[in-house]
Amino acid sequence: MCLPSQTESNTLITLALSKGRIFDETLPLIEAAGIRVLEDPNTSRKLILPTSRDDVQVVLVRASDVPTYVAQGGADLGVVGLDTLIEHQAETGGNDLYQPIDLRIAQCRLSVAVRADFDYDSAVQKGSRLRVATKYVHAAREFFAKKGVHVDLIKLYGSMELAPLTGLADAIVDLVSTGNTLKANHLVEVDHIVDISARLVVNPASLKLKRTALQPILSAIDQAVAPRLYTLS
């Protein structure tokens, strides 16, 4: 099949977003670049959403697929949590994405949590082997290796909090925001791995081939993020 070639004057920019917090919190930032999404992903069944700009469209993908879409050229830009990015980079070996902007949205932290009655510190001091359930196996492996703790990692895709309660694991590595989910499940946070926020990622080839179209969008988003630094500090 022969696809129509794009010239700089009719360049189409595709932005990959996942539904939920990242989608909602990205909207005000892209509005700064004059991009308004014209359909609500909660009511529309479309996976490609038009925007107020003819040259920009949004594609809805799973959060864990955003890095792949952008790295492989299915999208030019994407917004993805650092947690997902760390796992993607460990799996692909690294440098397939340009990351120009920390958007400072969807902020939380990646932490280790255990049952309130589990003595994590003494298990670590004794050199016990820990069973750790997580979706974030690469980040967890690196963290415990640096700490000198032997772990058996158990890969889960959700409801990590259940693992220590059912005896599946001694600890979990998961995202924590308010801490309410841990509290509700009688778990306590015992180690902090890394602060998380959403990052804008860009396909390196798009940055070269579509620079004229992309640069003003990146600058507008960057400026929309910058004032937030003052309100946060």
| Secondary structure class of 205 (helix, strand, coil) | helix
Pairing assessment for the beta strands 98-102 and 130-134 based on DSSP bridges: unpaired
Pairing assessment for the beta strands 13-17 and 77-81 based on DSSP bridges: parallel
Is the Cβ–Cβ distance between 18 and 61 less than 8 Å? yes
Stretch of 145-153, 168-176, 212-220, 221-229 contacting ligand AMP, by CB under 6 A: 168-176
- The site map against ligand AMP for 111-150 (x = CB under 6 A) is ----------------------------------------
**Binding status of residue 176 toward ligand AMP by CB under 6 A:** yes
| Contacts (Cβ under 8 Å, ≥6 apart) of 216 | 33
- The site map against ligand AMP for 53-82 (x = CB under 6 A) is ----------------------------x-
**Binding status of residue 195 toward ligand AMP by CB under 6 A:** no
Candidates 175, 194, 207, 220; binder of ligand AMP (CB under 6 A) is 175
**Binding status of residue 180 toward ligand AMP by CB under 6 A:** yes
The site for ligand AMP, by CB under 6 A, has a size of 12
